[in-house]
Amino acid sequence: MYPIGNISSYFSGKKRYELTNHLGNVLSVISDKPIPHNNGGSVDYWQADILQSTDYSPFGVALSGRNFGDTSYVRGFNGQLKDDEISGKNNSYSAEFWEYSPRLGKRWNIDPKPNASISPYATFGNNPILFSDVKGDTVKLEGSKRDIKSFVRQLSKASGNKLSVTKDNILFNKKSVYNEETTKKKSSILSELTSAIIGDKETFTFTLKRNVETAYFDNYDTGDIDVGDFSKSDRIFKAGQFAHIFIERMSNNPDYSVENRTDENYKESHDWGMIVEGAVVTTMLKLEYAYPEAKSMPEKETDYYGNVRPYFWEITKYGKAMYGGKRTARGQNNYYKPGGNIIGKMKRVR
């Protein structure tokens, strides 16, 4: 806007907007200038002014014949800064902790905070289709020694890996390789996700608690994880919950910092979590893939002393399979909502 007396003028085409996918890859850049589509002398709709567009290979190489427009735009794969002077157009990127070559799929420098379970040059947990790798370094666990030990033991069994923590409670894999086998006791998908979240460049802090009403397995807003719920669950069901939490954290856009835990981000990252949860559970059960369907149904029971106690019957369906269990109720005066604790066991009921 440029004021001229009482008149203001607006010049479009000066602003730029990035269109990205779940990885932060800048797929297109458009301006704020609408382009009219002429239909016999009248405008029937408006088109976007596309300044630049790029398609990428999994590790970030710009695909030949599938990119065009303004090559001077500074951001590209993972939303990182392009260093075209080093290796040519779209062949090198810079981020906070690295220089990166998309043709090799490796970082140039050694990770400043290496993890014993992966190569110091590895990126994206070697799964660039699902994960971004922008900043940070690791997974850190907070909580009592008992809860940290319980979390590591249960994740190790469900993923098939030999996990441990450093003296600073940094999660790592004790072996040089990760489990690649899926059975009814361990999931190769969860194993791959564990590798990815350990190797991701964002620092994830898991605050471990036990049997709290504010977290049913986890709480997206606070970041709390309830190890008590995991210990009360069937191994296949808990493997799905581990996968759900990991994906939910890693796919939150642009990261899982407190300011980015919005309702909009939750809906998208939660959906990704449900998708991968379904994949983990159905592959362990050797069933056709099914998106999870969760439902909470209010119930009441009378205890030994004649007291009526409300609870919720929690079920999750994965196609032909269904898991169920009792869940505490929160509220009063006959108005209740699901609580955060599992009563008894969460197990397969069909």
Q: DSSP for 101-149, please give it.
A: ETTTTEESSPPSS--TTS-TT--GGG-TTT----S---EEEES-HHHHH
Under a CB-based contact definition with an 8 Å cutoff, are residues 280 and 240 in contact?
A: yes
Instruction: Determine phi and psi for 45, rounding to 5 degrees.
Output: -165, 170
Phi first, then psi, for residue 171 (nearest 5°) are -75, 135
Q: What are the pLDDT tens digits along the chain (350 aa)?
A: 445 555 666 677 778 888 887 777 888 889 888 888 888 888 888 898 888 888 888 888 888 888 888 766 778 877 778 888 878 777 888 876 678 888 888 887 776 655 555 677 877 766 676 666 554 346 889 999 999 999 999 999 999 999 999 888 889 888 867 899 999 999 999 998 998 888 766 778 899 999 999 999 999 999 999 999 999 999 999 999 999 999 999 888 888 888 999 999 999 999 999 999 999 999 999 999 999 999 999 998 888 888 888 999 999 999 999 999 999 998 776 677 888 899 999 999 99
| pTM > 0.85 | no
Give how far the C-alpha of residue 270 lies from the chain's centroid of Cα atoms, to the nearest Å: 8
Residue 284's φ and ψ, nearest 5 degrees, are -70, -30
Phi, psi for 210 (deg, rounded to 5) = -135, 125
Per-position DSSP letters for 247-285, written without gaps between them: HHHHTSSS---GGG--HHHHHHHHHHHHHHHHHHHHHHH
Q: What is the pLDDT of residue 135?
A: 47
For the chain, the first-to-last Cα distance in angstroms comes to 64
Q: What is the pLDDT of residue 268?
A: 92
> 3-state DSSP call for residue 10?
coil
How far CA 108 is from CA of 61, 63, 76, 84, 122, in Å, comes to 16, 22, 18, 15, 10
Q: For residue 187, what pLDDT is reported? A: 97
Q: Is 343 helix (H, G, I), strand (E, B) or coil?
A: strand
Q: How far apart are CA 278 and CA 10, in angstroms?
A: 50
The amino acid that residue 147 corresponds to is D
Tokens representing 89 are: 């157009």
- With beta carbons less than 8 A apart as the criterion, state whether 165 and 208 touch: no
- CA distances for 246 relative to 42, 63, 137, 204, angstroms: 51, 30, 15, 9
For residue 229, the surrounding DSSP H or E stretch is helix 227-231
The per-residue pLDDT for 333 is: 64
